[in-house]
Structure 1
Amino acid sequence: MVATKSVAFLLCLLYMIKLSTARDYKCVQEENHCIFRDVQLKSTDSLTKTTFSSDVNSPKVLKFESSSIVQLPPAIFQKFPNIEVLDASFCGLKNLQSDSFSDARNIREVNLTGNKIAILRNFAFDGAPKISNLDLTQNDISEIQENVFDGLTELKILSLGNNRLATLPSRMFNALSSLEVVELQNNLLSKINDDMFTSCTSLITLNVSHNALQKFDLRQFLRDWSVDAIDVSFNRLKTIRIPKNLRKLVASNNQIRSVEAIGKDPALIFLRLSHNKLTSVDQIPSLNKLITLDMSYNQLQDFDFNSVTKFKNLILLKLDGNQLSTISNTLTSDVTYLKYVHLAHNRLTHLDMDVLRTVPRIIKLDLGYNKLTELTAKRLSDKFPVLVRLVLDGNDFRCEQSAELMKDLKYASTEYKSTSNQCKVEQRLVNGICCS
């Protein structure tokens, strides 16, 4: 009799526990958003025992806040078939099953940022063909199966940054002809196939920065229409080839020693090559549309302003942080398009402003943090009528030898003055110039 009562008690207890795990979560309406708060689905068993409801009439935006969900409950999309935007970011998601989106036929934006997803399995988004923006940033993804994105013919933005990807399946992007933006930054990629993005005929922006790429052939982007921007910074590239249709290339913090243009009349307007191993501006090919060239923190030891003639529209030239000890100018005619020249953090000790005589329309010249002890700037306003700013901070001017310079600058319309807190410990401020 006692044993029978004990069994009955245990069965009753188990039934009560089972009932306690079956919960109905009701969303709160905020600005036409259906928001579920404090949803706790920490095991797969609880998914089938939980229901979702809403006072919102056919919501189109659904969001989880302060929740812990092991995987997306398919019941969500069965209950709310008109959902267009799903935000399940930072919810502890670990898995995406093949049926997770089976009833999400109207969904267009999916935000799964900041979860714990490790593997993207084949057909994980099957049933949601209208997804156009998929954000999987900041997960633990180390494996992507080849057919995971099959069927996403409308996908335009794919964000996979800040994961643990070391390799990519060779056919991963083959079905994504509508793809416009791909983010793969901050992964562990050491290789990208030479034809990886060939099928992405709509691609305009690609970010593969902060990986371990030793080779990346940009020839696969050579097309009849423009690609807006590619970022390959913070990798291990030794050479870069610029397709003629690319407009912006960021390739800083690599080991680049060689730069080549592919095709005639390159469309490039912005080129950042800072923190590489280039030794001369002459290593850059002719780029007639280029507006900004950043070669700061390379290994340049000399520079001739004649080098800029192969950049017919160059406005900004950055050569900071190199090893320049002399500047020369063999130009025979004026270059009026160059407006901003940065030469800070080099090794210049003496400079005559007359070396810029053929760059008369310069607006700003940065000579800060060199080793200048002498600067000649006679008739500054006459020679450089639009020079607004001359940066001289952090140099080694001698007060007794700078009287002539101070006199020349005093009557110039150019702003040049430093402040006392910009002077070195051993320096003092005299007429706006730090000297010792």
Structure 2
Amino acid sequence: MWTRVAILLGLSLAVVKGQATKTSIPLTCVPQQKPGTCLLKSIKVQEKDVIDTTARVSSDKVLLFENSQLEYLPDVLFGKFPMVETLQATAIGLKKLSSNTISKWPYLKHVDLSDNMVGTVPDNVFGLCQNLESIRMANNRLHLLNGITLMGCNKLKQLNVSSNQLIHMDWEPASGLRELEQVDVSNNLLPALTISRYLKKIIARNNHIHKLTTDAGSFIFMVEYLDVSRNRLNNIDTLARFAKLIHIDLSYNRLLSVDFALFKHMHSLRELNLANNNIFEVATSDHKPITLSLVDLSNNELTRLFANDSKGISSTEKLLLENNFLVSFEVTKGLANFPRMRSISLGGNDWVCNDIEATLAELNAKKLTVVATSQKCAPHQILKSGLCCRDLGSTFDELVLLKSEKLAEIQRNSPTKGGSFTSTVKPTFASAPAATQKSNVKVSSPVNAPVSQTNNAEVGKLTNSFSDAEKRTAATDAQLVALRNENTALKSSLKRTQGEIRTLNEKLTRCKSTVNQRTGQTVLID
């Protein structure tokens, strides 16, 4: 008997307890809003709460939240606002999305769930999503994104999942979305990026991308805007498949060289950003210049830019070359090279003064705008026309030629195995001391006759001539030695830098990334 009583009491308490935790939330819209818009303020829903679904139906099409805390979206919202087309639930502390949550609004077109704490997205969260046009889930805690989630969203145009913790995105199931034009996956941890054939604008900056891939079996791609800056790319050959590109941002990657023939089929390309890489060499293997508005090669490791190597970008209007190691730049070899250029930046390089003065003269003759901001020159440089340069007394090419001729002359004058000289250039320098010695012998010897005053004058004149020639030769030798040492130092520095870059690349390849669950920061582990 007492057992039955205890069971009945337990059931009664459970019913009472269930009824006690079932609460209602105020769903009164803030007045003075636009017609069809409902703003809910100070709504609080915890994950453990059971919300009463009884509510009067509203015809509002825009639902907004302000100063609210909803750990999940209760069903009462779907019953209260069945006609919603726009849902903006940003910064409400949302932690999870249940299956078919969004699909309960059949007329929904725009969803913004940014700045929340959502960690996973169920495969069927959007349901058929036949009317959905834009999804924003930026700044959440997503690690994976499966394209299956978007299957059926045939009207979807924009997807923004930036500033999450994405390490993998399976895009293949969603590759058939013809209306999807813009995808933003920036500020994540993606190691690779797949470019779908229908996408027009892709923003993938600040990831760990080291590889670009495309849809299997696709040959024509619609992408026009591609931003993959601040990644780990060292090979960009895949870009040759995207003929419709207008804007390319490859800055802050790991490129070492670029062949401008890669872009020859991109007839609509206007902006090419290659800044802040490790590019020390550019080339144009197939001369077919494209009409560009901007080419940015600043903050790289270029030392010379020849006319033939830069033919692929010779039709650009604005060229940025600051902060390289340039000593020479062939701006014009006739009017065919860079005929459309209107502006160029040259600061922060290692110009030879005579070379850069000739270059500036050519630029001024073409009435170009030369960006040469005032800068503090290195100790071995001087400031001329707003640019720092080294005053070597000759052009870079002349010094290289002089050095090669001097080395050849030294080689010809070097002693043979028999101890004799084979040179025909300086026989007089070797014979001068002998002549002087012979004349001294004649003067000091009591046996020989005294030397005439005419012979003494000729010998003195010849000796002075030899002395002046030797001084000039010594000065030239010293200059060549200095140039040789500087060239050796530059080569050694370049080799050392390239070795450090290779070592760093190897270390970064071995590194693994993990996320600190307490701080949310990404940590690299070697």
TM-score band, normalised by shorter chain: 0.7 to 0.9
More helix by share: 2
1:299 counterpart letter in structure 2? R
Task: Give the superposition deviation at 1:417.
Answer: 3.1
1:87-102 matches, cutoff 5 A:
87-88=39-40, 91-95=41-45, 102=55
Task: Give the superposition deviation at 1:200.
Answer: 1.6
Q: 2:36 aligns with which of 76, 84, 105?
A: 84
Question: Whole-Å Cα distance in 1 between the matches of residues 259 and 195 of structure 2?
Answer: 24
User: SS at the partner of 1:317?
Assistant: strand
- Match in the other structure for 1:376: 330
- Match in the other structure for 1:306: 261
Task: Give the superposition deviation at 1:287.
Answer: 0.9
1:212 counterpart letter in structure 2? Q
User: SS at the partner of 1:307?
Assistant: helix
1:201 counterpart letter in structure 2? N
- Match in the other structure for 1:279: 234
Correspondence 1:194 to 2:144: no
Q: 1:270 to 1:214 in 2, by over 3 A?
A: same
Task: Give the superposition deviation at 1:216.
Answer: 0.7
Question: Whole-Å Cα distance in 1 between the matches of residues 62 and 179 of structure 2?
Answer: 26
Correspondence 1:322 to 2:272: no
User: 1:72 touches 1:100 (CA, 8 Å); kept in 2?
Assistant: no
- Match in the other structure for 1:63: none
Question: Whole-Å Cα distance in 2 between the matches of residues 315 and 331 of structure 1?
Answer: 19
1:374-413 matches, cutoff 5 A:
374-379=328-333, 382-399=336-353, 401-413=355-367
1:85-164 matches, cutoff 5 A:
85-88=37-40, 91-95=41-45, 102-122=55-75, 124-164=77-117
Task: Give the superposition deviation at 1:75.
Answer: 5.1
Task: Give the superposition deviation at 1:429.
Answer: 4.6
Deviations, residues 136-173 of structure 1 (Å, cap 9, x unaligned): 11221112222433431111110011111111222211
User: SS at the partner of 1:365?
Assistant: strand
Q: 1:76 to 1:183 in 2, by over 3 A?
A: closer
1:150-229 matches, cutoff 5 A:
150-223=103-176, 225-229=178-182
- List runs of 5+ in structure 2 lacking aligned partners: 1-22, 391-526
Question: Whole-Å Cα distance in 2 between the matches of residues 75 and 403 of structure 1?
Answer: 74
Q: 1:410 to 1:338 in 2, by over 3 A?
A: closer
Task: Give the superposition deviation at 1:83.
Answer: 5.7
Question: Whole-Å Cα distance in 2 between the matches of residues 367 and 395 of structure 1?
Answer: 8
Work out which of the two has the higher radius of gyration on C-alpha atoms and give 1 or 2: 2
How many residue pairs get aligned? The number is 362
- Match in the other structure for 1:59: none
Question: Whole-Å Cα distance in 2 between the matches of residues 430 and 101 of structure 1?
Answer: 80
Question: Whole-Å Cα distance in 1 between the matches of residues 52 and 350 of structure 2?
Answer: 69
Which structure carries more relative contact order (alpha carbon 8 Å, separation 6+)? 1
More strand by share: 1
Correspondence 1:367 to 2:317: no
User: SS at the partner of 1:363?
Assistant: strand
Question: Whole-Å Cα distance in 2 between the matches of residues 269 and 289 of structure 1?
Answer: 5
Correspondence 1:414 to 2:368: yes
Question: Whole-Å Cα distance in 2 between the matches of residues 377 and 171 of structure 1?
Answer: 59
Question: Whole-Å Cα distance in 1 between the matches of residues 139 and 268 of structure 2?
Answer: 34
Task: Give the superposition deviation at 1:428.
Answer: 6.0
Deviations, residues 203-246 of structure 1 (Å, cap 9, x unaligned): 10000111111111222332363311001111111122111111
Correspondence 1:233 to 2:183: no
Deviations, residues 401-420 of structure 1 (Å, cap 9, x unaligned): 53222322232222113232
User: 2:269 touches 2:290 (CA, 8 Å); kept in 1?
Assistant: no
Task: Give the superposition deviation at 1:341.
Answer: 1.3
User: SS at the partner of 2:262?
Assistant: helix
Deviations, residues 177-222 of structure 1 (Å, cap 9, x unaligned): 2111100111110012230111222110000111111111222332
- List runs of 5+ in structure 1 lacking aligned partners: 1-47, 49-70
CA RMSD of aligned residues (A): 2.9
Q: 1:158 to 1:430 in 2, by over 3 A?
A: same
User: 1:111 touches 1:135 (CA, 8 Å); kept in 2?
Assistant: yes
Deviations, residues 386-410 of structure 1 (Å, cap 9, x unaligned): 1111122332334455322232223
Task: Give the superposition deviation at 1:129.
Answer: 1.8
User: 1:99 touches 1:126 (CA, 8 Å); kept in 2?
Assistant: no
User: SS at the partner of 1:206?
Assistant: strand
- Match in the other structure for 1:17: none
User: SS at the partner of 1:126?
Assistant: helix
User: SS at the partner of 1:355?
Assistant: coil
More displaced 10-residue stretch of structure 1: 203-212 or 411-420: 411-420
More displaced 10-residue stretch of structure 1: 245-254 or 399-408: 399-408
User: SS at the partner of 1:278?
Assistant: coil
Q: 1:358 to 1:146 in 2, by over 3 A?
A: closer
Question: Whole-Å Cα distance in 2 between the matches of residues 264 and 294 of structure 1?
Answer: 22
